[in-house]
Amino acid sequence: MDDARAVVVCGATGGVGPAVVQAFASSGETVIAVSHTEADLAALKGIESVIGEVADLTKAEEVEGLWKRIDDRGVNVRALVNLTGGWRGGDLISTAPEDYRFVIDLNLTTTWFSCRSGAPRLVASGGGAIVNVASKSALAGGAGEAAYSVAKAAVIRLTQVLAEELKDTGVRVNAIVPAVIDTPENRESLPEKIISKAAAPEDIAQVVSYLCNEDSALINGAAIPVFGRLLG
């Protein structure tokens, strides 16, 4: 696999992950799909050109170990997509410390450690793109999701900071900002009137793919809304 170019997708088996993996694989890309457990990678069976990797992205040593394994494969990574995240509700006063830490770690810490280890590899390979995932909640700060809103707002600021730090290296860093995505989990918990206006995972995947390609070479440090029809 010497001199091969690949895309690393973290959170590859979540609600949007398989669609993102499929979008890259369909265009002939090698995709290194990262999930929390080996069992979760079963969701990607049947997609060609996928290399499965397992890591706990909340732990810096596991993230660096993941990237050392990627180095050992002889792969030059051209793009890193950070999809790992999840929602847990609660206002600031009632949110338990363990719930706060869980939400911050799942949404922000995973992105921080992934960028920390991945960015130097992208620089060394001659440039590329990083795409992070924030949320409409980061912009509005709605009541009842304090930790989640703060974590996703921090993802946007991390994206902006890293874009500034890497602007002269050929590595671009952007974030997408979804509202509600039409995933099986959301279909179980949200009313149809909301789901009917949500963005499809495949549509989100197309935006991610675009931000990783040279067609978007002028876009750097941006937080791009992908709200579907949930504009209010």
Name, in order, each residue with C-beta under 8 angstroms of 214's C-beta and a sequence gap of 6 or more: none
**Residue 182 token pair:** 């039409």
148 classed as catalytic: yes
Exposure pattern of 140-155 as b/e (b: 16+ CB <10 Å)? eeeeebbbbbbbbbbb
Q: Contact at 8 Å (CB) between 11 and 84? A: yes
Tell me whether residue 132 is exposed, middle or buried, using C-beta atoms within 10 angstroms of its C-beta: 0 to 12, 13 to 18, 19 or more.
buried
Among 117, 148, 181, 212, the one annotated catalytic: 148
The three-class DSSP label of residue 133 is strand
* Catalytically annotated residues: 148
